[in-house]
Structure 1
């Protein structure tokens, strides 16, 4: 039943590029698709354009998309955004929190996550928009993990992409880091498949220093067991939040309803997309192992947030980014 529902509401495509070798009796061979990559200028003038006023005015990405009615789950899932609209069945959302207590609130704990996590800004469709992201340990000390739709959407890569770790109401306490390249899974690059809504950016040095030398980096892991307790962070900027501060949720996770990802009770809204999910999170130290990102919500049950499972394709994005 679950697989039938998923196939009815989600666009699933393999994205495989098939290469045929011309030789007697040789079978067709499938070649794994490459990680998508988009190179940016990364000039410091891009950072200068992201003034405190511009950052405060940036619109959560979901608000720049056409609103879908509550029956259009396929549209919501295909886009892979944290699109939240008022459901017609409000009673359902009133009753469910009694069974699944709703999570979400300003992070009170401090620690490393207040520097590694941050807000992402970019230009999409000629408008200034926002998501969230997180700095992770990497070979080049310059990798930010985020959602695939926070680097590319509707067939176009975002431009003017910057990462502001520790963003605080227009303030950039650790600087504004320009991206020189952004990456997405092959499946997101080809068809924007929600199951693979994973992206990354490699940022330029700032004042001669690499990103994680300045803010530190969280660990990252792939192919981990499902159903574990996790913490999620982000900068939601749609009601009831305004994007000014970091919000978090925590609790048990479960298999997603309409994708192959994972879910969590969380009331974060648009703008939180791309924010990190952590395993083994230490509240005192503010450290954990990143294992997903905020990806999407569905209209009928807005108290749940969903993220992609970090498998081999997500690992491929990370590997390509840290080698760039």
Structure 2
């Protein structure tokens, strides 16, 4: 097991937190504003080509028609677990200090969620009740589920998730298809208070595509796992509205000082069912393999791609996404911090 002597504010990478949602009044998006957090320490990890982009050809109606009740119910999880190394030498995405405020405005003097590790049901408030949800995708011939978060963007159509939820790192078929997002999903999409949304484009790191895989036990292999994050742009709804106009958007931070974090998602592997949102929270995170943020948390696969929110306020439901869930150990969740390359992807997707 990885040593826990390094705490987040001292680590080479920022911590993340995720908050999932249930139902509340939709927030009207605000303007994305770049700010600064205290930058992280550590040399940047450079790649020759930062981004991969894929534009989907299927119409929103075709994607909606594909995801029948039976397909949503039968979708599986990606079995991603940590390797057994103590490698903390690989550098994660380099911190930039750039911050985008939530669509509801800056979070001031937040009241955090009390620490929790069991993956209990999450009852969101405010912005959290609409911005986070469940992601359904097809990779190869199989259907899978992950988690994702709407983030505040100039284009008002950006959703953040994990790269491994969108890229076939095992079978070599490339991008996921039939990408379908349900904010505040309950009961396998039977409850969808903020509608159903199909992806128009996906943006993922070249580093992940080139250098991330797993072994026969589902353990992560390769330096590409330092870049397990991705962004989607969603097609407008039938009324021509972008998703953020309906849901609002969480803030997002590309590296900086992180104290407490909230992590939410839809764990779907036993003992969980994926039928509702769950959470863990911590004010004492640590560093896992490859510089990942780590917290004690019992959530299982299906929570992948879920947001890690820092400075989350239980009253407004707003916070700053600093990472997305990447892998699990027996008792912990790991997430790769967002930094320089994530900012490039976010910008290309229309975030800034």
Q: TM-score, normalised by structure 1?
A: 0.76
Which residue, 156, 159, 164 being the options, matches 1:141?
A: 156
| Cα offsets for 1:133-186 (capped at 9, x unmatched) | 000110110000000101112242111111111101032221211111111123
Separation (CA, whole Å) in 1 of partners of 2:177 and 2:287: 31
Separation (CA, whole Å) in 1 of partners of 2:286 and 2:340: 18
1:206 shift after superposition: 0.7
- How many residue pairs are counted as aligned between the two chains? 264
More helix by share: 1
| Cα offsets for 1:29-64 (capped at 9, x unmatched) | xxxx131111112412111211233212211122xx
Identify the residue that residue 113 of structure 1 maps to in structure 2: 128
Separation (CA, whole Å) in 1 of partners of 2:206 and 2:133: 25
Separation (CA, whole Å) in 1 of partners of 2:248 and 2:271: 30
- Residue correspondence of structure 1 range 253-292 to structure 2 within 5 A: 253-292=284-323
Off by >4 Å, runs of 4+ in structure 1: none
- Residue correspondence of structure 1 range 68-83 to structure 2 within 5 A: 73=84
SS at match of 1:308: strand
Separation (CA, whole Å) in 2 of partners of 1:321 and 1:162: 17
The unaligned stretches of length 5 or more in structure 1 are: 3-13, 18-32, 75-99
> Contact 2:260–2:282 at 8 Å: present in 1 too?
yes
Q: TM-score, normalised by structure 2?
A: 0.70
| Cα offsets for 1:76-107 (capped at 9, x unmatched) | xxxxxxxxxxxxxxxxxxxxxxxx97342101
SS at match of 1:322: coil
Identify the residue that residue 54 of structure 1 maps to in structure 2: 71
Larger Cα Rg: Structure 1 or Structure 2? 1
Q: Please, what is the CA RMSD of the aligned residues?
A: 2.4
Q: Relative contact order, CA 8 A, sep 6+: which one is greater?
A: 2
Which residue, 163, 186, 197 being the options, matches 1:177?
A: 197
The unaligned stretches of length 5 or more in structure 2 are: 4-44, 86-114, 213-223
Identify the residue that residue 241 of structure 2 maps to in structure 1: 209
- Residue correspondence of structure 1 range 1-324 to structure 2 within 5 A: 16-17=47-48, 33-43=49-59, 44-62=61-79, 73=84, 102-154=117-169, 155=172, 156-169=174-187, 170-171=189-190, 172-192=192-212, 193-207=224-238, 208-226=240-258, 228-298=259-329, 302-322=330-350
